[in-house]
Amino acid sequence: MELYLKISFLNDFIFCPLSIYYHQLYGDLSERLYYGQSQLDGKAIHAAVDEKRYSTHKNILQSLDIYSDEYNLCGKIDTFDTEKGLLTERKKHIETIYDGYIFQLYAQCLCLREMGYQVKQLRFYSSDDNKVYPISLPEDNSAMFEKFKATNKAMQSFSPENYSPQNAGKCRNCIYNDFCDRPLAPKSYNAGF
């Protein structure tokens, strides 16, 4: 049986491939042990969608489980308007749209399409400032789509034994820094305490 990787791992993998390993290792523990305030705030913004109380319209799918056999990915969408073909990923605050954000949205789009839905538009919604950020469909941005496929392939075949962190700044800002056995930045020893 094939194991599907979570769509959310795409952004984590770009930040640091080891974060996926640590997330799996500590995933059953209280998130307060390793989540920072920004991660907790981000989870809170998804509560209405996760509990399917964001909208009562029948054409708005919320927190739908999705998967792709082709890309070996699974996850959940935030919202998808079946009439407009509009897939929306909600974020608490967006300052920069990182490649990992786009890859997650691409993965959601590809999963929905593989499941038979017609996705025509992609966007991010920033709740703090009520801004919408349209994103090109994968087929409309071939360079980004190729980067998505290369990143997914690297993530699917990643082995933590041979990985060494390369960026001290990322290590310093990593929520798993206090637990990591090979950080480039000094440990803060204050994870969630």
Under DSSP, the state recorded for 29 is S
Strand order in the sheet with 121-126: 60-62, 79-81, 86-91, 121-126, 131-135
Residue 172 lies in a domain: no
Task: Look at residues 87, 82, 73, 83 and name the one whose alpha carbon lies nearest to residue 156.
Answer: 73
**100-111 burial string, b = 16+ CB within 10 Å, else e?**
bbbbbbbbbbbb
pLDDT of residue 30: 46
Q: How far apart are CA 74 and CA 97, in angstroms?
A: 22
What is the per-residue pLDDT for 185?
Answer: 64
Total domain count, the chain: 1
Report the distance separating Cα 44 and Cα 59, nearest Å. 24
Residue-level pLDDT at 58: 82
d(CA 70, CA 186): 40
For residue 148, with 0-12 CB atoms within 10 Å meaning exposed, 13-18 middle and 19 or more buried, which class applies? buried
* Structural domain includes residue 134: yes
Any domain includes 78: yes
pTM to 2 decimal places: 0.80
Q: Domain of 89: which CATH number?
A: 3.90.320.10
Spans of the chain, pLDDT less than 50: 1, 30, 33-34, 189-193
- Is 83 part of a structural domain of the chain? yes
pLDDT confidence of residue 40: 53
pLDDT score, position 181: 78
pLDDT of residue 108: 98
Backbone phi, psi, residue 66, to 5°: -135, 160
Q: What is the pLDDT of residue 34?
A: 44
Give the domain extent around 128. 5-11+30-149
What is the pLDDT at residue 130? 95
Q: Please name the residue that has the structure tokens 């071939």.
A: 142
